[in-house]
Amino acid sequence: MPRVPPISPATGNATIPSYIHTTDSNFVDSNGRTLLLRGVNLSGSAKAPLGQQSYVLEDFWESAEAGGESFAGQPLNLDDGSADVHLARLRGWGFNMLRFTLTWEALEHEGPGKYDHAYIDYTIRVLRKCKAYGFKVYMDPHQDIWSRFSGGSGAPFWTLPACGIDPRNITATQSSIIHCEYPLAHIADPAALPAMIWSTNYGRLLAQTVFTLFFAGRDFAPHCIIDGQNIQDYLQSHYIEALGVLADRIRDAGDLLDECVIGWDSLNEPFEGLCGWDDLSANPVKQGSTLKKGTYPTPAQSLRLGMGQAQTVDNYTFGAMGPSRDGSVTIDPKGAKIWAEPETESADGVHPRWGWQRDVKQWKLGTCVWAQHGVWDIETGFILRDDYFRYSPVTGDPVDFILDYWKPHFVSFGARIRRGHPEAILFVQPPVFAQPPELEEEVLKGRAAYSAHYYDGLTLVTRHWNWFNADALGLLRGKYSNTLQAVKIGEGAIRKSFQEQLGMLQADAKILGAYPTIIGEIGTPFDMDGKRSYGWTDGGKYKGDYSKQEKALDASLNGGDGVNALNWTAWTYCVDHTHDWGDGWNMEDLSLWSADDLRDREEDESASMISQQGEDQCLYDNRLAESRAVLIRKHNEPNKSKETSIVTAAVAAASSLSVATLGTVGSIARAATLPKPSFETDAMTLGSTPKGRRMPTLQDWHADPYGFLTDGARAVRAVSRPWPHKVVGRPVDIRFDIGKAYFKLVVRVAPDDLPVGNVGEGEDKGPLATEIYVPLVHYASDRLVRGGSSGQGGNEAAIKVEGIEDRGHRRSGSATEQLAVSGRSSAVGSLWGSSADLPAAMSASVDSTGSSATAGAGPGELDQVDIAVKVSAGHWEVEGQMLKWWYDVPGESVAPVEYTIEIKRRAGVIKPKGRLRPAVEDKSLCEKMCEEQAGCCIM
């Protein structure tokens, strides 16, 4: 690893201690240690305002036409204490990185140039909270299918009428599928929306048109002039400036840039529209970014539908073997047109609500914009120029969307962001699975990362974890001569293929230069097999059994391990997730946590139940008060009351809800002073309190840290996995066997890897170490697994780790000592604290005024994690969930060396209990004959 420079390559300014470099294909801290940044997207809920999930039709159009609603409150509630609960949980899972989801609509919904400053202020408050918990953040300007009002998320409503579109007729013309109007507005049944059908909208008129106008309007729609600008410049300038205003405000906040917010992703999953389309009368033969499911019109058919003309189109089903044609379907808009009528604007083109002026001499409302550019004839329906979008109207050369249109947009976006955030890392995100273009160093300035997305497409669409899969990326990149060659049989082959595909994406970063790669989105659906894990099938036999989801998610995240050693942010964490509506957006269901998965009280011996009169019940667990505070609600009630419950008020009164402070003397003392609210006056939320029950205290929350991290979590063993946060040298192999809780890390260390200064901060002034997160989820002591943080230790029986016996409790160990005994962890420092960059909210009790009291382990505190460790060199010790490992760095002119560390749980693998235990089920013949993580032994 080259030595990190003391000055920024982007600005020439001296770097601050928290500065993160992007060099030698890695994120690197100011000491020269390789960083692995992993975490979650926060959050899918932020695609819409509070209470406006995609299935809600009431006031959908009316509110939008009036200027929309504020997104303040998404993704976290900062006023009731619940934000601390969620961030503490995410930090407790080991995450150190957040991809912060926001939309253009959230910033500029009131109209062109009118910014929601209340939302911006709220966002700054959320970012400060993230900073307090030690997270690094990169901002995600999110979009799907352009806008909420075209079936996705992203752009404000007013951008659609700006493009000459009447959004009220989108559904009738099937220009896009909108969840709340599915299948038709007058017979809407949003619960019936098929899985992933929203992504077929990329093959429909709305997205194809608007993205073409956004990226390439100057070339393909030169007559579309609004406020004296081409529609491309009009849309892009508003979008870029809205994000620039946010960057400026975050800069002016004074304590967030580079310390917390390290960079900005480019437009999420950009779409090329019709740019480069070969033949408007045909769809591509090869499966590309557009899913074939349901109706599948050609662009020519979509153009006719947009003008109200009935069309008979192909129909597809998607099964385990992929898409297959299933006859045809006639779509009849009955004369409804997607194009806005001339009467919606004045005779001279001024819009009465949004204020722009359209050039009516060149751009007439009421008719197709592409017909106005000579692409087709409306009266006959004949396509005049099938290859209109294939060649550049300016040069005549074949269109290269990424070079011709995406790259100039990225350069403009990056320049504006860096006016507000000079040191910003620019996260480069081209279209899904597309390779990035070469970008000049005067654009990247040594501060960039490649931001790719990866999903197991077969599992995502079929909602089933199959015993076979396919190398989708390899197929798209021409790795195979036929589809059959890409099929992978058996879990071992599937896992190997995922790792190879992620390795291909990582290799794409080399096109940019020696920059790191982060997988911006990766995840798996939790509503598999007809939502059987929710108890909706088989008489509830599989309720709470997420074993299939765990296998799927582990296989994907394992792809980021191995030789790839990738950074990633999983999709997603939604605080308002429900079993009924999933993430609240187009029936997607990928949230890593759900209030609907909080454990029922009858399965917890120390729980208490508070019944509510009537048919609904709310369940409240004294031990898990943090998890349940502000999350108690009526089952199946889509629009939650905004009134604060008394439990919420009690929790908010002691807003020191980080896991580090649970049970500390100061926290408990403050908790004892909380008012004892009367349940009699709050029947709406909690009903009456049974005799002998009491309000929970911080001491109760302290009693069960393992339960805190697992309650409500889905497939948490897959996502909360051991991995190195900071490495002296670089990780060359990461392996984790989820079934055995066995972790192995190999690092390569060269002379240049000696950390700069090689001295820690604060109380720890010794040499800097490699730091490995050791999750409680896998390695908690028996005492914690049983649900307590006090009392005697658990099972002390010795076990063997790679032939080395552990004879008792040790705080540390070394390669020389392990010939006789392996090291064993013990509580050191803060109960939940990590050993470096420990945020104030995780090491101290922070009240609502910002004052703090230091937290630490008392003299009688016992171990959190129960591990046996083997190292090839050096010595180690554990503090909380972080293992520090020291080893020698070779001297000058000495060849690089490799060191290995192996970790197992000393008392054996933690077995899921209660409803988390996998149910016994029938397996396929292949699953019975082949081991889970091995290749197929039949074929």
Catalytic residues: 269, 521
Report how far apart, in Å, the C-alpha atoms of 539 and of each of 360, 542, 784, 912, 915 are: 62, 8, 33, 21, 14
Cβ atoms of 771 and 882 closer than 8 Å: yes
Q: Is the peptide bond before 183 cis (omega within 30 degrees of 0)?
A: yes
- Type of residue numbered 86: H
Amino acid letter, 232? Q
Q: Are strands 730-737 and 38-42 parallel, antiparallel or unpaired?
A: unpaired
Contact 495, 555 (CB under 8 A): yes
Structure tokens of 238? 């508003």
Q: Could you give the CA distance from residue 361 to residue 295 in angstroms, rounded to a whole number?
A: 36
* Beta carbons within 8 Å of 935's beta carbon, 6+ residues apart: 489, 490, 492, 493, 496
CA–CA gap between residue 930 and residue 49 (Å, rounded): 47
Q: How far apart are CA 784 and CA 787, in angstroms?
A: 5
Neighbours of 605 (CB within 10 A): 8
Distances (CA, A) of 833 to 701, 767, 836, 839, 878: 16, 19, 9, 8, 11
Amino acid code (one letter) for 1: M
837: left (phi over 0), alpha (psi -120 to 50) or beta: left
String of DSSP letters for 130-166: HHHTT-EEEEEEE-BSSBGGGTSBSB-TTHHHHTTB-
Q: What phi and psi values does residue 32 have, to the nearest 5 degrees? A: 95, 10
Classify the phi-psi angles of 513: left when phi > 0, otherwise alpha if psi is within -120 to 50, otherwise beta: left
Q: Do the bridges between strand 261-265 and strand 229-230 make them parallel or antiparallel, or are there none, so unpaired?
A: unpaired
The rounded distance, in Å, linking the Cα atoms of 205 and 35 is 43
509: which 2 tokens? 């970063």
Contact, 766 vs 759, CB < 8 A?
A: yes
Tokens 């008060």 identify what position? 625
CA pseudo-torsion sign 860, 864, 868, 872: negative
Structural contact between residues 342 and 366, judged by C-beta atoms closer than 8 angstroms: yes
Alpha-carbon distance 900 to 395, whole Å? 57
Report the 10 Å Cβ neighbour count for 324. 10
Angle at 400 between CA 395 and CA 404, to 5 degrees: 65
Q: Give, to the nearest 10 degrees, the angle between helix 407-420 and helix 231-253.
A: 30
291 C-beta neighbours (distance < 10 Å), count? 22
According to DSSP, the residues that pair with 468 across neighbouring strands are 489
Q: Tally the C-alpha atoms within 13 A of residue 31's C-alpha that lie toward its C-beta.
A: 20
Site of tokens 């060649």:
391
What values do phi and psi take at 734, rounded to 5?
Answer: -125, 125
134: left (phi over 0), alpha (psi -120 to 50) or beta: left
20, 620, 726 from 835: Cα distances, Å: 18, 34, 11
